[in-house]
């Protein structure tokens, strides 16, 4: 049977048809996957998307195709999935699970109505979406039919069926999210503790029994001094000693188990929170002037103090605090009113920690700004070392560094001093409470109200009762740093996201690229001048537009607005007749390619920098991209080739080579809309001429908006816009505008 989807000829009982999945026309190639994907893979992505839609999950085929390629690549890397162009049922099931469903590959012996809807694998390997079954008739998904379903006799289907199906169901969690009443979202950090409720309940239970066993030593002393010694009972002594030792061993075992549970829960919380913070950081909406990279870096680095705070020792201390009341009750049963000495000591131990919290927090906040500025200064001193030296800025950097480090050292010293005072105070009060309890108990013995065993037991219980409070004093001293770090991380966790979670977006498998601007207004500073102010502008799909203007005229800002990187403060940007804010960010990034004048590279290999999406598995495509950008001969002749190691920021490559890598990335993306900001500024004349000759054919059918000062690339455009102070000064055909500029320049020189 050919690798095509089944459309059954009932009369001939044979298999024929169109493409895998009954698609009347091929799905538009995903720009992110390019031409390397086969029609079978795209058709299977379309089938999986239709299947997800039947289950109430709207997942575009382009997204599924990307996830399939990732799953295939990972399986191939692990030598478990076969060649990278083979989409197995296991890969499709994995993608459906990523979409929030429970999915599995099953083998069935009989075809019954209860098994559908499901994706069925035929003996040839092709996939078919079976929507339902009535008696001996199957209903197969077929877009060529009026109701998108084709009736297929069971007898025609069964001989070609492999017996394997992919069944998926919407998960309970997805159903809860879909139908729940809108409620306040759980805190990004404290909410992570809810998922570990069971572990913390087990920790509390372990603490209960561990603290009960901890009473054994005190009771052992009480019985030995009051009963064993007066009666000289050796047998009783050894029985009590054995019981006490057994209690100590059991207590240690419980505490080790509790520590293991807390470490496991803490590790899960840490991993979850770290992933969430990185996700929020990567998804932050670009907001000029509203976020400082150094502050974000400093905040992420401070998570270490949060992690260290919520360790097993800290959680163990907090878990032991409620059982202080158990010890107090036991002391009251032995010593009566003597328990109030312990209560008074407990209050004196923790009171200063609460009273000094404001001071500790103030000290923390006073160092946060200096710490962020020091991080920024250090980054600049390292990455801009040549500029600092050539511009003779060493003295300035040295002075600011000394100021910041001095401020941090002084404030940190005050914090440590205050923390030490609280810790030593708690230790002193604990010992003083013990002494006071022993003195009062001694007078009780003189009066015949106490026994020696009671004094010793109370002394032991005093230490066990107040020990968690001593640790609590140190915990309170460190809490100010943790609270300050959490406040800094709140700015990341609560940052406005490019893809908001509380709204749905319009999905667009393909974007043609027709722009329309209406009363567009944008400024970097609310009190500053307007950077871009365009009342009306329309760019038809497929048109190539050049944007000219002096430095600071708003060209780069306009391009970032068109690319969806920035949001306008006023007015609207329509893309294909839809407000650009309605389009799903994934679709926008997939179809709109943006190449800035400053191409940023990352530490790693050249292959890593080209394959940022992790979807490129074909080295020939990588070399084709490099050839297009003019970097192919250099990479082919280099000993390491695609495995050429790049330093931070692309160190080791020239500015022109970095811009060429940007062009290679754009070629691999294969977008339908191209936004270029001075795309050839760093290229030499020969390479620029060669690239422009290639672009003429590559840009065919694409919408292109190019900001440039270079004449060769202007030859690719048909329309020219000139910005002046953020406003449209000239808009017309390229040749007419250039002739006007030439005439105006000639007239100005006469």
pLDDT at 425 over 60: yes
* Alpha helices (H) along 55-139: 61-77, 89-98
Q: For residue 539, what pLDDT band results from cuts at 50, 70 and 90?
A: very high
pLDDT greater than 90 at residue 558: yes
21: pLDDT confidence band, cut at 50, 70 and 90?
A: very low
What mean pLDDT, rounded, does the chain reach?
Answer: 80
> Which contacts qualify for 149-155: CB closer than 8 Å, 24 or more apart?
150/7, 150/8, 150/22, 152/6, 152/8, 152/10, 153/8, 153/10, 153/13, 154/111, 155/13
CATH superfamily of domain region 515-749 = P-loop containing nucleotide triphosphate hydrolases (3.40.50.300)
Query: What DSSP string describes 333-346?
Result: HHHGGGHHHHHHHH
Q: Stretch 135-154: mean pLDDT, rounded?
A: 83
**3-class DSSP state for residue 600?**
coil
Per-residue pLDDT, averaged over 562-589, amounts to 90
pLDDT tens-digit map of 155-172: 888 888 888 988 888 766
Q: Is 221 helix (H, G, I), strand (E, B) or coil?
A: helix
* Report for 325-329, 517-521, 523-527, 739-743: range of highest mean pLDDT: 517-521
What mean pLDDT do residues 226-246 have?
84
CATH topology of domain 7-179: Cathepsin B; Chain A (3.90.70)
| Residue 647 pLDDT greater than 70, yes or no | yes
9: which strand partners?
Answer: 14
Q: Is a pLDDT exceeding 70 seen at residue 556?
A: yes
Tell me which of 28-37, 509-518, 584-593 is least confident.
28-37
Within this chain, domains 7-179 and 190-493 share the same CATH topology: no
What is the model's pLDDT at position 185? Answer: 66
Of these ranges, 30-44, 564-578, 734-748, the one predicted with the greatest mean pLDDT is 564-578
Q: What is the DSSP string of 494-515?
A: TSPBSS-TTS--B--S-----E
> Which pTM value belongs to this model?
0.71
Q: Provide the pLDDT for residue 188.
A: 75
Question: pLDDT tens-digit profile of 315-342?
Answer: 667 777 777 887 888 888 888 888 898 8
Q: Is 610 exposed, middle or buried (0-12, 13-18, 19+ CB in 10 A)?
A: buried
Q: What's the confidence (pLDDT) of residue 262?
A: 77
More confident residue, 99 or 166: 166
- 537-554 average pLDDT score: 92
Q: What mean pLDDT do residues 616-628 have?
A: 88
Strand partners, 187: none
Q: Among 261, 668, 320, 250, which Cα is nearest to 466's?
A: 320
SS3 664: helix
DSSP annotation of 284 reads: B
The percentage of the chain sitting over the pLDDT mark of 90, rounded to a whole number, equals: 15
What is the mean predicted confidence (pLDDT) over 402-414?
82
Superfamily of domain 190-493 in the CATH hierarchy: ABC transporter type 1, transmembrane domain (1.20.1560.10)
What are the domain boundaries of the chain?
7-179, 190-493, 515-749
Q: Please count the other Cβ atoms lying within 10 Å of the Cβ belonging to residue 665.
A: 20
Q: How confident is the model over 613-639, as a mean pLDDT? A: 88
- Average pLDDT value for residue range 436-457: 84
**Mean pLDDT, range 94-112, rounded to an integer:** 83
pLDDT at site 3: 36
* Band of residue 313 on the pLDDT scale cut at 50, 70, 90: low
- Cβ pair 60, 587 in contact under 8 A: yes
Question: What 3-state DSSP class applies to 532?
Answer: strand
**Does pLDDT of 402 surpass 60?**
yes
- Cβ-Cβ contacts under 8 Å for 470 (sequence gap 6 or more): 349, 423, 426, 427, 430
Q: Which residues contact 485 (CB under 8 A, 6 or more apart)?
A: 299, 302, 303, 305, 306
């Amino acid at each position: 049977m050919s690798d095509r989807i089944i459309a059954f000829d009932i009369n001939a009982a044979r298999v024929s048809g169109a493409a895998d999945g009954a698609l009347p026309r091929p799905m538009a190639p995903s720009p992110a996957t390019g031409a390397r994907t086969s029609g079978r893979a795209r058709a299977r992505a379309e089938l999986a998307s239709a299947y997800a839609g039947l289950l109430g999950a709207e997942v575009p085929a382009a997204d599924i195709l990307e996830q399939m390629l990732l799953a295939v690549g990972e399986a191939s890397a692990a030598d478990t999935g076969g060649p990278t162009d083979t989409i197995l049922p296991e890969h499709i099931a994995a993608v459906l699970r990523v979409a929030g469903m429970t999915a599995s590959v099953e083998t069935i012996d009989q075809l019954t109505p209860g098994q559908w809807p499901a994706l069925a694998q035929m003996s040839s390997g092709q996939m078919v979406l079976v929507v339902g079954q009535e008696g001996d008739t199957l209903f197969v998904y077929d877009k060529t039919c009026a109701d998108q379903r084709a009736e297929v006799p069971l007898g025609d289907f069964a001989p070609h069926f492999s017996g394997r199906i992919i069944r998926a169901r919407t998960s309970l969690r997805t159903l809860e999210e879909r139908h729940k009443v809108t409620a306040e979202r759980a805190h990004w950090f404290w909410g992570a503790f809810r998922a570990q409720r069971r572990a913390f309940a087990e920790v509390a239970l372990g603490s209960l029994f561990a603290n009960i066993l901890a009473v054994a030593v005190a009771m052992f002393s009480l019985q030995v001094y009051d009963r064993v010694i007066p009666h000289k009972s050796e047998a009783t002594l050894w029985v009590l000693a054995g019981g006490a030792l057994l209690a100590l061993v059991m207590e240690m075992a419980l505490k080790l188990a509790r520590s293991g549970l807390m470490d496991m829960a803490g590790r899960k919380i840490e991993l979850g929170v770290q992933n969430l913070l990185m996700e929020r950081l990567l998804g932050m909406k670009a907001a000029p002037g509203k976020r400082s990279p150094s502050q974000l870096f400093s905040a992420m680095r401070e998570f270490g103090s949060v992690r260290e705070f919520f360790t097993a020792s800290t959680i163990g201390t907090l878990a032991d605090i409620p059982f202080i009341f158990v010890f107090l009750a036991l002391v009251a049963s032995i010593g009566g009113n003597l328990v109030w000495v312990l209560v008074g000591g407990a209050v004196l131990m923790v009171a200063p920690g609460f009273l000094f919290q404001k001071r500790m927090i103030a000290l923390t906040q006073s160092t946060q700004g200096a710490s962020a500025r020091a991080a920024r200064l250090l980054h600049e001193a390292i990455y801009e070392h040549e500029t600092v030296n050539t511009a003779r800025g060493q003295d300035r950097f040295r002075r600011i560094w000394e100021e910041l480090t001095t401020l941090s050292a002084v404030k940190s010293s005050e914090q440590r001093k205050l923390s030490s005072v609280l810790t030593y105070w708690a230790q002193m009060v604990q010992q003083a409470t013990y002494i006071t309890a022993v003195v009062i108990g001694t007078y009780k013995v003189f009066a015949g109200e106490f026994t020696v065993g009671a004094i010793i037991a109370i002394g032991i219980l005093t230490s066990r009762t107040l020990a968690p409070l001593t640790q609590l004093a140190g915990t309170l001293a460190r809490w100010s740093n943790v609270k300050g770090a959490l406040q800094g991380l709140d700015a990341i966790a609560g940052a406005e996201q490019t893809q908001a979670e509380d709204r749905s977006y319009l999905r667009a498998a393909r974007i043609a690229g027709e722009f329309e601007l209406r009363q567009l207004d944008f400024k970097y500073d609310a009190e500053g001048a307007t950077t871009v102010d365009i009342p009306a502008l329309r760019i038809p799909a497929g048109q190539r537009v050049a944007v000219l203007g002096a430095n600071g005229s708003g060209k780069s800002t306009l391009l970032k607005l068109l690319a969806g990187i920035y949001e306008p403060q006023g007015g609207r940007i329509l893309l294909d007749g839809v407000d650009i804010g309605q389009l799903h960010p994934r679709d926008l990034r997939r179809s709109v390619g943006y190449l800035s004048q400053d191409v940023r590279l990352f530490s790693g290999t050249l292959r890593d920098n080209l394959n940022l999406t992790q979807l490129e598995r074909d080295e020939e495509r990588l070399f084709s991209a490099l050839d297009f950008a003019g970097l192919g001969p250099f990479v082919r002749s280099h000993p390491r080739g695609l495995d050429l190691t790049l330093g931070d920021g692309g160190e080791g490559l020239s500015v022109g080579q970095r811009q060429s890598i940007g062009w290679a990335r754009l070629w691999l993306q294969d977008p339908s809309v191209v936004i270029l900001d001075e795309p050839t500024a760093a290229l030499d004349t020969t390479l620029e001429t060669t690239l422009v000759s290639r672009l003429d054919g590559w840009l065919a059918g694409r919408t292109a908006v190019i900001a440039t000062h270079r004449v060769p690339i202007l030859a690719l455009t048909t329309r020219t816009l000139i910005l002046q102070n953020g406003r449209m000064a000239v808009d017309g055909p390229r040749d007419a505008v250039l002739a006007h500029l030439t005439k105006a320049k000639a007239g100005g020189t006469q």
